Amino acid sequence: MAGEAEMRTKAPSGGLAPWLPALLAVIVGIGFARFAYTPLLPLLVERGWVSAAEGAFAGAANLAGYLVGALAAQALAGRPERGAILNASLVLAIVSLGACAAPLGATWLSGFRFLAGVAGGLIMVLGPSAILARTPPEAKSRVSGYVFAGVGIGVMLSGALLPALATLGLVTTWLALAAMALVLTAIAWRRWPEGAGAAAAGEMPKRAPLAIALLVLAYASDGAGFVPHTLFLSDFVARGLGRGEAAGGLAWTAFGIGAVVGAPLCGLVASRIGAGPALVGALFLKAAAVALPLVSTSAVALGASAILVGALTPGMVALAAALTATLASGPAQARLFGTMTIAFAVAQAAGAYALSALFAASGSHLPLFATGAAVLAAGGLAAVGAVRMVGRG
């Protein structure tokens, strides 16, 4: 049996770890194509490529694309050509990053930010599951932690490198991002497992339908509630507080440090107290972390806020997946988590557009943090209700 389990995790990785292609894909599709925009936003505004409002709406376009990509991934999950679909998504991310190097206005930027989001949604849904489907049950949590650490690695790289690259010009910065994505894509290209673990269809769990609805609502609240940090944090520090581009990049690096360690830490907590209570605690803690800039804008407070929200960004994914596994199994679990992912993407895109409009109307970042914290706290209350109905998890 051990030999069979080992064969299931084996991929044409040329001696490298079988989870490596998913890790690299997450770095490209989420770390670069999604999150690298955050530290670049203040530079795009200051150098006249877009206005502050146009830059915010271009960021929201990326999240709308993520929703489209997640919906497309649900339809494509059963296709045997999943490896080819993932490679095509990586190419789309590279092209989108390279196209953003052309200073052709807000419409051009928004269009390619949208396409980058489509690539990210496809990769986030299909990439990790392609590897986890071939992973033995006892190794799934560990491998999932490795894969979702790619979010934080991408964030850290973008936060640390992009402000320095920006001294050479925004064109060079975007092209450097595309080049790094190309290198990682070349490594992952032939290393997806055969068939890539096509997902089966299944029915949603029938018991406790209200609990399921509350759980989906709680996860959706996370999609909207963390938008102030993932879209506006660097701009808040750099321009809102007047501390400059380097300080904005440093705040984003702190977010990335948290994101690297968040998924494994959340998994450890869930294994000790249960996935349900861990999800509730994470939502309330994240609400407090998002609200922290309202209380203090000291370097320590902003750093703590960035690290905590960063840790709980991939951490919430791990906790939600773990909790769904206690409510359903096999195809039903996959369908439930897929529904939650789409709800998350809808809330994320809607929240991004709503907060962009709020920022355009108010000219201040502080109402964004207040709104995000309130949404997360409401999600925590929904999670309390769900957990009470279904047990500790």
pLDDT tens-digit series, residues 331-356: 465 567 778 888 988 898 888 889 88
pLDDT tens by residue, 142-181: 677 778 778 878 877 776 777 778 788 889 999 999 999 9
> Nearest 5°: phi and psi at 275?
-65, -35
Q: Which residues are CB-contacts of 76 (< 8 A; sequence separation ≥ 6)?
A: 82, 85, 122, 126
Name the token pair of 215: 């759980």
| DSSP conformational letter for 29 | I
Tell me which DSSP letter residue 27 carries.
I
Interval 99-115: pLDDT, tens: 999 989 889 999 999 99
Phi, psi at 298, each rounded to 5°: -65, 160
Secondary structure class of 243 (helix, strand, coil): coil
Question: Token digits for 197?
Answer: 């673990």
Residue-level length of the chain:
393
DSSP string for residues in 91-155:
HHHHHHHHHTTS---HHHHHHHHHHHHHHHHHHHHHHHHHHHTTS-GGGHHHHHHHHHHHHHHHH
Q: Average pLDDT for residues 118-147, to the nearest whole number?
A: 76
DSSP state, residue 239? I
Residue 201 DSSP label: P
By the 8 A CB rule, do 230 and 347 touch? no
What is the residue-averaged pLDDT of the chain?
Answer: 83
More confidently predicted of 167 and 380: 380
Indicate the DSSP class of residue 139: G
Confidence grade of residue 328 (pLDDT, cut at 50, 70, 90): low
194: tokens are 């055969």
> Which phi-psi region, left, alpha or beta, contains residue 274 (left: φ > 0; alpha: ψ -120 to 50)?
left
28 Cβ contact partners less than 8 Å away, ≥ 6 residues apart: 90, 93, 94, 123, 154, 181, 184, 185
Which residue type is seen at 282? Answer: A
Sign (positive/negative) of CA torsion 204, 206, 207, 208? positive
